[in-house]
Amino acid sequence: MISSRLGFNHVTHTLEVIKDKVVSKCECFINENTELISAYQILYNNCDKDDAYETYISLLEKHEIKDPRSSLEDMFILDYIMLNEDRHLNNFGIIRDFKTLNWISTAQIFDTGESLNIIDYSDEEVIINGDGRFFYNISNFDNILDNIKDLKKYDLNKLDGICEEFDELLHKYQHITKMTDRRINKICTLLFSRINKLKKKIETK
């Protein structure tokens, strides 16, 4: 939903009910001629861990990958909105031709499963802060945003109505997931809060 509206290069997932369970599925984003090379593999023995972000971008540019910085920024914007806590180094990378070993492009954004988690919450509030992964470091999501050069390029008005759409989707499968109305409301409230928080950050830039 979010990536489609914001125009991010991402793997499209759909939902299906299989054996009384809701499953998320997607098409494979590599083919018989390509392979995924993870950021972990690219950076292994190639960088100072404190400078991994710029080193990673430089390595991709050296292999003529088009605009790797923008691809990373899009990924971190998505993680910020969704509070994705698990963007480890095997969850992004590049696509390589396994015959010629030429680097083709950044991989599409994939695997945002550890997102919008609400385990403990009160009726009074929803926690809208958290820590994400930024290469080798665990960092506050707000601090991760500091690495994005131009926040104003993101038009969050494109996300208008998405919380209502998400609410409808969660209720559609509620009879299977057994998710309570209260929990659905809290998750949608959290998403709404994240979007508004990012909007305010963009406005102050």
- What confidence tens digit (pLDDT) does each residue in 36-53 have? 999 999 999 888 888 999
191 phi and psi, to 5 degrees? -60, -45
User: What was the pLDDT predicted at 27?
Assistant: 93
What is the architecture of the domain spanning 2-200? Orthogonal Bundle (1.10)
Boundaries of every domain in the chain: 2-200
Q: The tokens of 71 are what?
A: 């691809």
User: What was the pLDDT predicted at 130?
Assistant: 79
User: What was the pLDDT predicted at 45?
Assistant: 86
**Confidence at 57, pLDDT banded by 50, 70, 90:** very high
Q: Which of 19, 15, 22 is nearest to 1 (CA)?
A: 15
User: What was the pLDDT predicted at 9?
Assistant: 97
**Residue 182 in this model has a pLDDT that exceeds 60:** yes
Query: What is the distance between the alpha carbons of residues 200 and 149, in angstroms, rounded to a whole number?
Result: 16
